[in-house]
Amino acid sequence: MKAIKDIQKNIHSALYTEFPGNSSSPGSLPRRVPERGLYPNTFQNAYNSIGLQAKVVSIFLMLTLIANIAFSQTATAGAKYLAVVDSGSSGSRLYLFELTHENNRPKVKEIELKNNTVEPGLYSLSKAPDRIGEYFKPLLKSLKAGMVSVGLKSDQISFYVFSTAGMRIASPLERERLYKILKNYIESEKFNFVDVRMIKGHFEGLFAWITVNYLMHGFTKNVESFGVLDMGGGSTQIAFETGKIGLDIYPVKIGSKTYDIYSKSYLGLGMDFAKYQFSNAPACWPTGYPLPSSDTKAVADFARGVHEISVLIDFIHRVNATVIPKIADNMEFIGISGFYNILTAKALNLGSIFSINDIQTAGTNLSKLTWDELVQKYPNDPYLYSYLLNLELYAALLQYGYNFKQDKKIKAYGKINGVSVNWALGAAIYLLEGNPIN
């Protein structure tokens, strides 16, 4: 594009410098001035000059046409374009995808967007819906910049806002009022289609499962699928393929194949919501950490913390009783979102492959350091205070909730093959393949 524009500029320059005395405005033909004695044969030179000018102008118009065609063809012919907003409990993130099919399988390209995240979560506006434009404007600005980069227009894009755990705890009346205002605001941009809704928790699991398996193997035939563990701020999800049909098992069509996926979400077992419930549990925080609603300070005890959280997991949420299909011992699981962000933190030194044993070792070692020692050792880590609680949550969930073996290895990924792991990508594929969202 830049090269073509440079050529156009150079031709403009040539037109207005080659012929002295030119006073024409841009876009009109420049004039030669034979009175200055530059041409002895006025008629012949006028003829020649008109011929030259006509040729130059023709070239200029042709290059302009080529530039316009090149710009319009940046968007792939036959592709579908989906904008998906993951509106979670901690913030809203916008993604733009180009979707096609290749060999009867989905092919997805994420179009890079800058400044595509706003905080806090959408639910923070449930009592102030009139502020939705102020909240959402940066996301639309980010999207428009991405659209320009690939030559897209609004009417080529289907726009989805899927909210999750944060909005599930909002008042239904406030939620619907907020969604109505938000949908009207987005529709004013003339997108092809707009859908704003709260999705049920199992969709998060399904979308995450699709994302991981698409990035790992592209749904090629005769390849074992991966189970997925997703840890968010408000909820946590588990999803894996099973040959059974039953409660919490959903058929998902990808290409020519239908997969039966067990997907379960637990609202309240996300990292942030767990902090609210155990904010004054002394065993769940570094020794010496000031408890927010007490004059006492924490006394770290990893084993005790795991036990206390396991009560929430198995007696309140009954996780061990609700995971109906038996998880095969040899099934590989991949942890994303919070599993990756926390377990790869420098202060824990766990790495991207871990087991319950590894989490217990890291938690026990972390418990030996006081809060003051941790701050001195890792002064710039904003999540430092919550690592012990997170490790206790993960150990209790995997051991007592999902009944994983102590030495079962789990891989944590933030990116797969250079692509960021987010369930929005899986949502785009799910919709592309015509799966139901209701």
Cα radius of gyration (the chain): 30
Question: Nearest 5 degrees, angle CA 162-CA 165-CA 214?
Answer: 55
> Which pLDDT score, from 0 to 100, does residue 343 have?
87
CB 89 within 8 Å of CB 165: yes
Please, which pLDDT band fits residue 38 given cuts at 50, 70 and 90?
Answer: very low
Ranges 18-22, 67-71, 267-271: which has the least confidence: 18-22
- pTM of this prediction? 0.83
CB 319 within 8 Å of CB 406: no
CA–CA separation, 171 vs 184, rounded Å? 20
Closest by CA position to 85, among listed 193, 8, 194, 162? 162
For residues 326 and 192, the model is more confident at 192
Q: Is the pLDDT confidence value at 53 over 60? A: no
Q: Is the pLDDT confidence value at 43 over 50? A: no
Task: Tell me the pLDDT tens digit for each residue of 371-427.
Answer: 999 999 999 999 999 999 999 999 999 999 999 999 999 999 999 999 999 999 999
Give the pLDDT mean for 181-209. 97
Please, which pLDDT band fits residue 326 given cuts at 50, 70 and 90?
Answer: confident
| 3-state secondary structure labels for all residues of 34-87 | HHHCCCCCHHHHHHHHHHHHHHHHHHHHHHHHHHHHHHHCCCCCCCEEEEEEEE
Q: Is the pLDDT confidence value at 368 over 70? A: yes
How confident is the prediction for the chain on average, in pLDDT? 86
Give the pLDDT mean for 356-361. 97
Please, which pLDDT band fits residue 349 given cuts at 50, 70 and 90?
Answer: confident
Closest by CA position to 139, among listed 74, 180, 191, 98? 191
> Which pLDDT score, from 0 to 100, does residue 31 have?
40
For residues 343 and 251, the model is more confident at 251
Please, which pLDDT band fits residue 93 given cuts at 50, 70 and 90?
Answer: very high
For residues 248 and 49, the model is more confident at 248
Task: Tell me the pLDDT tens digit for each residue of 247-269.
Answer: 999 999 999 999 999 999 999 99
Please, which pLDDT band fits residue 324 given cuts at 50, 70 and 90?
Answer: confident
CB 420 within 8 Å of CB 382: no
Percentage of the chain beyond pLDDT 90 is 75
Give the pLDDT mean for 282-303. 95
Ranges 146-150, 282-286, 343-347: which has the least confidence: 343-347
Q: Is the pLDDT confidence value at 237 over 50? A: yes
Q: Is the pLDDT confidence value at 245 over 90? A: no
> Which pLDDT score, from 0 to 100, does residue 322 have?
86
> Which pLDDT score, from 0 to 100, does residue 75 have?
73
Q: Is the pLDDT confidence value at 56 over 70? A: no
Q: Which uninterrupted H or E stretch holds 404?
A: none
Query: 105: which 2 tokens?
Result: 């399988």
Q: Is the pLDDT confidence value at 206 over 80? A: yes
Give the pLDDT mean for 108-128. 95
> Which pLDDT score, from 0 to 100, does residue 6 have?
52
> Which pLDDT score, from 0 to 100, does residue 328 have?
86
> Which pLDDT score, from 0 to 100, does residue 329 have?
86
